[in-house]
Amino acid sequence: MPRAAWFLIVGQFINWFASFAIVFLVLFLTKKGFGVGRAGAALALYGLGELSAGMVGGHMADRLGRRTTIALAMFGSAVSVLALYFARPYGLVLLLALLAGISAETFRPAARALIADLVPEGQRVTAFAASRFSGSLGFALGSMLAGFLANHSFLWLFVSDALTSIVFGVIALALLREGVRVSRSEEGDGTGYRRLLADRGFLIFLVATVMVTFVYFQMNATLPLHVVRVAHLRPSAFGFLLAINSALVVALEIPISAVTMRHRPKPVLAIGFLLFGLGFGLTAMAHSFSALVPTVVIWSVGEMIAAPVGYAYVADIAPEHLRGRYQGAYGTAWGVGSVTGPALGTLLFAHSPTLLWAVCGLLGAAAAVIVLGGKPALPPRREDLMVVIEESAPQAVEA
């Protein structure tokens, strides 16, 4: 990959290595004297900020440029996280939590769009797998340090989070390229998010994405409840299951992407979605740790197959000048799943765990069918339009 792509991946590793503040936010706020409900509300506002950041970040990436958007997001994240530590009035805490969520996630569409700008089509699956690998590895290693810092002082958690964001912002300004950037006049009428909403094929893909992310986020919502209440295991067993997932992703996602990049994306995505549904669906019959391990392996393989291909697919179908907004919309679809999955999943689990896992299996299968069905009406790329214009110009002159 180009050197700029590697700089971006290293920057993401540094940023994720100390993404501590949100992980310990509830503990920190309750220690400051806020009730559990108030601390939970602050965390919810952070999540709301993350959900809205996709569309905001996508627009900024296309208009301001990828490098500028990443730098602004990182510097904004550093300021809001530090201010959150020192904030005292509860209203200010809520506002800063919202701003921290927005700024922390605004960089993602720009980073993914920049990978699409830098890496040629056909090689992007592995590039996105490397990007995911850097984030996962950084967070895993940083989590070991986070517990140690929390035992001594919450201040160091927030300072470390802010400092790594600043380092990533400096890397962006010094070493990354601006990437594609267009003005309103260059876009013309009928573009931007209006153009995206006219792409029926992409919207159908987003629907399938919301369905499968609903399933995926049961990992943090109802799977731990199943481990403790249904399988009657200790919470540490759930920790081991998550460790298995993380180890598989770190060890196998890049090698798997080297295979999946050689095949058409939609069938690969369908296989990944099916494995998501199958793995979580089989959880209904897993009442022991030994029975739960294969289910985790199955949906982990689905994750490793579908996630890099999904980002590469969005990068491939997006018009060059709308890559940021397409990635932002895709990130928002994941955000919707991250909200609806835990909220509705816990309700279904409370009614019937078996029903929940059956719904997960059906949603995975339905998402696979949706992503396979119908040919997306892809908007023409700007470079394709330019080729058409250049090829037709001599004919027009002769006429």
| Chain segment 240-249, per-residue pLDDT in tens | 898 888 889 8
pLDDT in tens, 291-320: 999 999 999 999 999 999 999 999 999 988
Superfamily of domain 3-181: MFS general substrate transporter like domains (1.20.1250.20)
- pLDDT tens figures, 325-376: 999 999 999 988 888 888 888 889 989 999 999 999 999 999 999 999 855 5
Q: What is the pLDDT of residue 141?
A: 82
Domain 193-383 classification at class level? mainly alpha
> Minimal CA–CA distance to 219: which of 227, 211, 230, 229?
227
Handedness of CA 52, 54, 55, 58 (dihedral sign): positive
Spatial distance between the Cα atoms of 130 and 132, rounded to a whole number of angstroms: 5
Nearest-angstrom CA–CA distance, 235 and 125: 35
Mean pLDDT of the chain: 86
Report residue 274 as tokens.
């099916």
Q: Say yes or no: do domains 3-181 and 193-383 share a fold.
A: yes
CB neighbour class for 277 (10 Å; exposed up to 12, middle 13-18, buried from 19): buried
Residues whose CB is less than 8 angstroms from the CB of residue 318 and which lie 6 or more positions away in sequence, other chains included: 116, 325, 326, 327
Longest Cα–Cα distance in the chain: 81
- What's the pLDDT at 335? 86
Is the model's pLDDT at 398 over the cut of 60? no
Q: 62-66, 79-83, 277-281, 343-347: which range is least confident on average?
A: 343-347
Cβ–Cβ < 8 Å for 248, 140? no
CB burial string 386-398: b at 16+ within 10 A, e below = eeeeeeeeeeeee
Confidence (pLDDT) at 191: 60
CA 249 to chain centre: 15
Is the pTM higher than 0.85? The answer reads: no
Residue 251: partners with Cβ closer than 8 Å, 6 or more residues away: none
% of residues, the chain, pLDDT over 70? 91
Mean pLDDT of 97-114: 93
Checking if the pLDDT of 150 tops 80, the result is: no
For residue range 177-225, list pLDDT tens digits in order.
888 777 665 555 446 778 888 889 999 999 999 999 999 989 888 898 8
Give the residue extent of every domain in the chain.
3-181, 193-383
- Alpha-carbon distance values, 294 to 205, 273, 291, 343, 394 (Å): 28, 17, 6, 26, 62
CA dist 201 and 197 (Å) reads 10
